[in-house]
């Protein structure tokens, strides 16, 4: 989205409306074309918009420096050094697959850091609650029982509170 600085004013407003979806995000994955000559300026544009939306400081973010397969060896070594000195920066190539596993691990670690594992017992009549748990994507396992089911969930405190109000 770094190209937003080149958009006409009317399109910027529409684009911002689309970006407001990040207000609900648990994690922002900021994927940059690290081979682009304006990559740093584009990243600044994105961060300015996220600041305007009020999420840059409050929502965890992983910066993914994509297209490392397109930079030369010397530039690659410099990028490796820069990334190692920054928190939550991952290098990858979507084309070659290099680094994708590290990005997935980083996403998983950030999403799971504020989660706890619980077992929730639901009766047969608790279909709405069961559906909510699956919609939230927190169910790790489900064991059937005569009186309903025992669901192992991996959720945040906020999700647990919302669930208790159902």
Q: What is the CATH classification number for the domain harbouring 105?
A: 3.40.50.300
pLDDT tens column, 46-63: 888 888 888 867 889 999
Residues 88 and 57 in one domain: yes
Residues 65 and 22 in one domain: yes
Q: Quote the domain boundaries for residue 31.
A: 2-112
Give pTM, 2 decimals: 0.69
Helices (H) then strands (E): counts for the chain: 6, 6
Do residues 152 and 141 make contact, with C-beta atoms less than 8 angstroms apart?
yes
Q: Residue 142: which H helix or E strand, with range?
A: strand 139-145
Do residues 136 and 159 make contact, with C-beta atoms less than 8 angstroms apart?
yes
Q: Is the pLDDT of residue 151 over 60?
A: yes
Q: Is the pLDDT of residue 156 over 60?
A: yes
- Look at 125 and 3; give whichever has higher pLDDT: 125
Residues 108 and 150 in one domain: no
Count of domains observed in the chain: 2
Residues 98 and 120 in one domain: no
Residues 97 and 143 in one domain: no
Residues 81 and 63 in one domain: yes
Report the pLDDT value the prediction gives residue 4, as an integer from 0 to 100. Answer: 58
């Amino acid at each position: 989205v770094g190209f937003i600085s080149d958009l006409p004013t009317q399109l910027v407003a529409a684009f911002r409306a689309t970006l407001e979806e990040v207000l609900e995000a648990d994690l922002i994955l900021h994927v940059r074309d690290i081979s682009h000559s304006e990559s740093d300026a584009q990243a600044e544009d994105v961060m300015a918009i996220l600041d305007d939306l009020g999420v840059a400081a409050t929502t965890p973010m992983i910066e993914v420096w994509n297209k490392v397969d397109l930079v030369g060896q010397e530039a690659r070594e410099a990028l490796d050094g820069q990334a190692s000195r920054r928190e939550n920066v991952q290098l990858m190539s979507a084309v070659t697959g290099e680094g994708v596993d590290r990005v997935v691990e980083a996403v998983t670690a950030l999403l799971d850091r504020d989660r706890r594992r619980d077992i929730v017992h639901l009766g047969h009549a608790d279909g709405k609650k069961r559906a909510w748990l699956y919609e939230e994507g927190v169910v790790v396992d489900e064991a059937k029982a005569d009186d309903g089911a025992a669901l192992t969930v991996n959720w945040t405190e906020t999700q647990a509170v919302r669930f208790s109000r159902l």
